[in-house]
Amino acid sequence: EIAACFNGVPQLDVGIRSDVLDNCLKKDGMIMSIRSLSPDILICDEIGTDGDIEALHMAFNSGVNIIVTIHGYSIEDIYKRKVFKDLLENSILDRIVILSNRNGVGTIEQIYSIEAEGDFKCLR
């Protein structure tokens, strides 16, 4: 969805220094990217499986910065999920941005900083 690939060709301009992987499992794409592309940043939409989390751990342990989305109804809903809890407990995330469609797609509702002990501090 990020680059809107059609037949393997990105339809959205995500920049000339971006590599877009298509038609593979997210976890496999992330692992291939980490091993062969030496990324500074890894961006992935809609994480949620154990394999996704394993790949994010690999990225984090390799020094790769990550930006991911996790879909949910609220911060409380997301916090109850195993995938999110794992990311928090391992200090992989440091910011959470809550988006909505209230004033159009991508409306920023809240921004949280994650403190060392896993608590949230609302920045906005």
What CATH number is associated with residue 20? 3.40.50
pTM above 0.85, yes or no: no
Contact 44, 72 (CB under 8 A): no
The pLDDT of 14-25, averaged and rounded, is: 93
Domain limits at 10? 5-93
Identify whether residues 87 and 100 lie together within a single domain.
Answer: no
**CA–CA separation, 12 vs 30, rounded Å?**
20
Judge whether residue 116 has pLDDT over 70.
no
**Rounded CA Rg of the chain:** 15
Identify whether residues 84 and 110 lie together within a single domain.
Answer: no
Which tens digit of pLDDT belongs to each residue from 62-75? 999 999 998 888 77
Identify whether residues 18 and 42 lie together within a single domain.
Answer: yes
Q: Is the dihedral of CA 15, 21, 27, 30 positive or negative?
A: negative
pLDDT, averaged across the chain: 89
Identify whether residues 42 and 83 lie together within a single domain.
Answer: yes
The total domain count for the chain is 2
Identify whether residues 46 and 104 lie together within a single domain.
Answer: no
**CA–CA separation, 15 vs 115, rounded Å?**
32
DSSP, collapsed to helix, strand or coil, labels residue 99 as strand
Identify whether residues 66 and 38 lie together within a single domain.
Answer: yes
**CA–CA separation, 49 vs 30, rounded Å?**
13
